[in-house]
Amino acid sequence: MKARGRLAPTPSGELHLGHAASFLRVQQSIREKNGTLILRIEDVDRLRCKQEFVDSSIEALKALGITWEEGPDLGGDFGPYVQSEKTARYKEIILKLRDLNLVYPCPVSRRQLREHGFDLAHGEALFPKELRDSCDQIPEDPWSINWRFRVPDGLKLSFYDQELQKEITFEAGIDFGDFIVWRRDGMASYELSVVVDDHDMKISEVVRGEDLLLSTARQLLIYRSFGWDEPQFGHCPILKDGEGEKLAKTRGSRSLKSIFSEGRDWRQMLKDCGLGKVLD
Ligand code: GLU
């Protein structure tokens, strides 16, 4: 089968130079395999996402010379797939996970979590095992409560990272705890929606920023719950905040929108950050 990759921006703000590097690498990797690229707007978080950012993200991708060859037909052009249209599908998958006893409704609030105390792993709160299954019964409206994935403690999750070119391993219960798959404010979590979409869209390779390495381990658990084919994963270096800030001060704002409108040389800026390889 032809390789299939995706560009998956979250329209909660303007894209910046770091996104440019990742998306150029996504395109480069799929073109090397003569594969198909799709664009998916990751707007599950309707509170943070805005149409103006959808529009400016699409404009920025085009200005970077990135193209995609599948999606809703816009009369000669392809539009993006949009996650906010898939809520019913995400709910269906959560109910299947519930039938497998892999997810549970979780009434624990952030405040209760703080009061109970928690360990940190990789800078994130580890959901305490003692607070698992603290919900006696599923509320009448099951979508008005958080749902968490019950991670199999001690299970090691490994994958070969095609960008870092090494095997990566995380351990459930140590590196990450029970994670949210549905949010009580009425939306699927990132981890859930991204796996469902990558599966539904038959994505064969996921190339994204290194900040999502740990998420990949969580996502593998969802793939393995259903025995779904797993894509190849690759995580590329991201611009650290410090570098971005430095760049912002010395060369103007790092949002792509302003870089383009000020006529700055974004290719040179990428090279200056040591990310010139994505331009080869
Ligand atoms: N939408 C995510 C982001 O903008 C990327 C998710 C992914 O590539 O899996 O950070």
pLDDT at 83: 96
End-to-end alpha carbon distance in the chain: 26
What contacts 139, CB < 8 A, 6 or more positions away? 105, 145
Determine the atom of ligand 1 nearest the C-alpha atom of 211.
10
pLDDT band with cut points at 50, 70 and 90 for residue 253:
low
DSSP 8-state secondary structure symbol assigned to residue 77: S
Alpha carbon of 208 to ligand 1 centroid (Å): 7
pLDDT band with cut points at 50, 70 and 90 for residue 252:
very low
Neighbours of 6 (CB within 10 A): 27
| Residue 254, pLDDT above cutoff 80 | no
Same-domain status, 56 and 131? no
pLDDT at 251: 53
Neighbours of 177 (CB within 10 A): 24
Amino acid at 155: L
The CATH number for 26's domain is 3.40.50.620
Same-domain status, 102 and 194? yes
Alpha carbon of 235 to ligand 1 centroid (Å): 11
Nearest-angstrom CA–CA distance, 127 and 177: 5
Out of 194, 198, 211, mutate this one to test ligand 1's pocket (max ligand atoms within 8 Å of CB): namely 194
Nearest-angstrom CA–CA distance, 39 and 55: 13
Alpha carbon of 191 to ligand 1 centroid (Å): 10
Same-domain status, 168 and 251? no
Nearest-angstrom CA–CA distance, 262 and 16: 14
Same-domain status, 92 and 196? yes
Judge if the beta carbon of residue 234 lies within 6 A of ligand 1. no
Judge if the beta carbon of residue 194 lies within 6 A of ligand 1. yes
Same-domain status, 8 and 131? no
pLDDT in tens, 121-147: 999 999 999 999 777 778 889 999 999
Averaged over 227-252, what is the pLDDT? 74
The parent domain of residue 17 ranges over 1-85+242-280
Averaged over 139-168, what is the pLDDT? 96
Alpha carbon of 115 to ligand 1 centroid (Å): 31
Same-domain status, 91 and 230? yes
Number of domains in the chain: 2
pLDDT at 75: 87
pLDDT in tens, 9-39: 999 999 988 899 999 999 999 999 999 999 9
Nearest-angstrom CA–CA distance, 71 and 15: 21
Judge if the beta carbon of residue 8 lies within 6 A of ligand 1. yes
Same-domain status, 27 and 73? yes
Residue whose CA is at the smallest distance from ligand 1 atom 5: 8
Alpha carbon of 8 to ligand 1 centroid (Å): 5
Same-domain status, 146 and 218? yes
| Residue 227, pLDDT above cutoff 90 | yes
Alpha carbon of 196 to ligand 1 centroid (Å): 14
| Residue 249, pLDDT above cutoff 80 | no
pLDDT in tens, 39-92: 999 999 999 999 999 999 999 999 999 999 999 988 888 999 999 999 999 999
Nearest in space to 273 (alpha carbons), one of 24, 59, 6: 24
| Residue 186, pLDDT above cutoff 60 | yes
Judge if the beta carbon of residue 238 lies within 6 A of ligand 1. no
